[in-house]
Structure 1
Amino acid sequence: MAAGKKTRVEKTQAGPLSPPEYRAIPIQFSPERAASHFLYVKEHRVRPGTGSAWPPGRTLFVLNVPPYCPEERLAQLFSDCCGPVQTVKLHPKPDLSQPPPEPLTATASELFCPKPVPGFQVAYLVFKKPASMQKAMALPGPLIISTESHPVKTGIEKWIADYTASLGDPEALRVEVDKFMEEYDKKVAQEDARAEAEEGVPDEEGWVKVTRKGRRPGLPRSEAANLRVLEKEKRKKARKELLNFYAWQHRETKMEHLAQLRKKFEEDKQRIALMRAQRKFRPY
């Protein structure tokens, strides 16, 4: 291209740009706000020979779902315009081979499950009838998320609601913990019973499994043994201590040494006096 030559890019299509095979549907947060956000939708299809738990012909794949649009509101938006919706599942990223999440079982917990990080997500929206999905692909928009009949909380109200939802019920937490501990105790009892049944029984190669419970209990220590252990611990502790590390320790060591010398001097004086008293004069 020559320097200084200008080109003109003409708009060849009406409406917003969208990825191939997707259709853009504008949505607005409320009627008072003119800013629009776009959802990109297409029919959910998988490659031939690939299994999918999402029903074909009735599943709509939705990209760019904002964090302020939950599953309930997304289902309400499409059911009002297209027809009844069977299920809506949000995912942080598309995964065509992943089946829909199953409901919580007895071992799962709603209190200890990590919550996903809020952000833009993808959705798998399943209609009850195939004609509803065709209507969804032809929606002109815009769809209004927050209305007077279905308001969506924002700002401080949303923060307060999220904080309140993050605080679990103490009674539900106690029931959950008690249930977990009961299952844990039952599991430990089953493992102990299985270990006792296998103890002393040789396997196919003739090896005998030795468990902790199969060991002989240790004999109680005698008083002399306890004294030896205490004396050993005392010597070990004395070796670890730093002697004369501080100035006051050095002074105390000197004072103790002088006190021992004085005590020994007094004992020697008493011994000499006793020896003099017992000595007798024998000239012959």
Structure 2
Amino acid sequence: MVARRKKRAAQPGAEPPGVLASPPGYSAVPIKFSEKQQACHHLYLREHRVREGARSAWPQKRTLFVLNVPPYCTEEALGRLLAPCGSVQSVELREKPDLAEGPQEPKSVFFHPRPVPGFRVAYVQFQKAQGVRAALALQGPLLVSTESHPVPSGVHKWIRDYADSVLDPQALQAEVDAFMEAYDRKTAEEEAQARAEEGVPDEEGWVKVTRRGRRPGLPRTEAANLRVLERERRKRARKELLNFYAWQHRESKMEHLAQLRKKFEEDKQRIELMRAQRKFRPY
């Protein structure tokens, strides 16, 4: 076992003892939550690059891609850790890497569920390309929570999360009003565009017909609903299968024959009565 370890350490390109092997193309930077913590956590950094022909709104050579960001490391804390490398323009945390897109629009804190806390990835944008190169050459360990910038944990973190879960009615009303204004504006633009396109033939000569101008349907009254239900009941009754079984069919035929015989006997009696009442009256 000792000889095998010596042989592995003697191989060219092998990491020296005590140094964590980082993924290919990444630089490992150790961080700690605080000075009291003994174990180190490692962030893996590399310059953000996309494949040739792929679109990305993140600026090339000025964006740093970070893997293995722990849950307690916020965007503010990550920006503070990398601030000595250069002026940080923006920091965005995501649940998974998405290289084909740029910064996302901020989501609503009221109508979007909060992500499950876990390890995430980050995109850090510097104002100059020198910041990316300086971040790749960082030596740790770096402290996330310091005396000047403490990160809440334990009971303090639970209290903060509970306070954040209580909604502010004024902020909620302001966001709802802003959403409705944007929706009304978009609806008005779509109606104006449809009104402008109505009656104008396209390249192939087709004319677009819209529903604008139709009278909106009036809500049904209770009497109208009852009439509709009665109509549906009669329709279902007509669709029901009569005499589905063979014994039902035989019984219906026998009942029909019995009614015919009864009617025949009644007709015979009526004819006999008429013959008995008939008399010869010459004058």
TM-score of the two chains, using structure 1 as the length reference: 0.61
Cα deviation for residue 84 of structure 1 reads 1.2
Provide the C-alpha distance between the structure 2 equivalents of 1:36 and 1:212, rounded to a whole number of angstroms: 69
- Name stretches of at least 5 consecutive residues in structure 2 with no aligned partner: 10-14, 231-283
Provide the C-alpha distance between the structure 2 equivalents of 1:43 and 1:217, rounded to a whole number of angstroms: 62
In the alignment, which residue of structure 1 is the partner of 2:239? none
After superposition, where does 1:131-146 map in structure 2 within 5 Å? 131-146=130-145
Cα deviation for residue 38 of structure 1 reads 0.4
Q: Contact 2:30 / 2:42 at 8 angstroms: preserved in 1?
A: yes
Aligned with 1:74 (options 68, 71, 78): 78
In structure 1, give the amino acid aligned to 2:94.
H
Aligned with 1:57 (options 54, 61, 73): 61
Cα deviation for residue 180 of structure 1 reads 4.7
Provide the C-alpha distance between the structure 2 equivalents of 1:187 and 1:47, rounded to a whole number of angstroms: 36
Provide the C-alpha distance between the structure 1 equivalents of 2:133 and 2:189, rounded to a whole number of angstroms: 56
Provide the C-alpha distance between the structure 2 equivalents of 1:112 and 1:177, rounded to a whole number of angstroms: 10
Provide the C-alpha distance between the structure 1 equivalents of 2:217 and 2:110, rounded to a whole number of angstroms: 44
In structure 1, give the amino acid aligned to 2:37.
R
Aligned with 2:89 (options 86, 93, 96): 86
Secondary structure of residue in 1 paired with 2:4: coil
In structure 2, give the amino acid aligned to 1:73.
A
Could you report, residue by residue, the CA deviation over 1:138-186 in whole angstroms, capped at 9, with x for unpaired residues? Answer: 1111010000000000011101101111222112223333455566678
Provide the C-alpha distance between the structure 2 equivalents of 1:215 and 1:166, rounded to a whole number of angstroms: 42
Aligned with 2:48 (options 38, 44, 47): 44
C-alpha change, 1:72 and 1:8, in structure 2 (3 Å) is same
Could you report, residue by residue, the CA deviation over 1:20-62 in whole angstroms, capped at 9, with x for unpaired residues? Answer: 1111110011011111000011111122222221111111111
Provide the C-alpha distance between the structure 2 equivalents of 1:210 and 1:96, rounded to a whole number of angstroms: 42
Cα deviation for residue 212 of structure 1 reads 11
Provide the C-alpha distance between the structure 2 equivalents of 1:154 and 1:74, rounded to a whole number of angstroms: 16
Provide the C-alpha distance between the structure 2 equivalents of 1:138 and 1:194, rounded to a whole number of angstroms: 55
Q: Contact 2:55 / 2:101 at 8 angstroms: preserved in 1?
A: no
Aligned residues between the structures: 218
Q: Cα RMSD between the aligned structures?
A: 4.2
Cα deviation for residue 121 of structure 1 reads 0.4
Cα deviation for residue 115 of structure 1 reads 1.9
C-alpha change, 1:162 and 1:138, in structure 2 (3 Å) is same
Secondary structure of residue in 1 paired with 2:5: coil
TM-score of the two chains, using structure 2 as the length reference: 0.61
Provide the C-alpha distance between the structure 1 equivalents of 2:79 and 2:218, rounded to a whole number of angstroms: 66
* Percent identity of paired positions between Structure 1 and Structure 2: 50
In the alignment, which residue of structure 1 is the partner of 2:149? 150
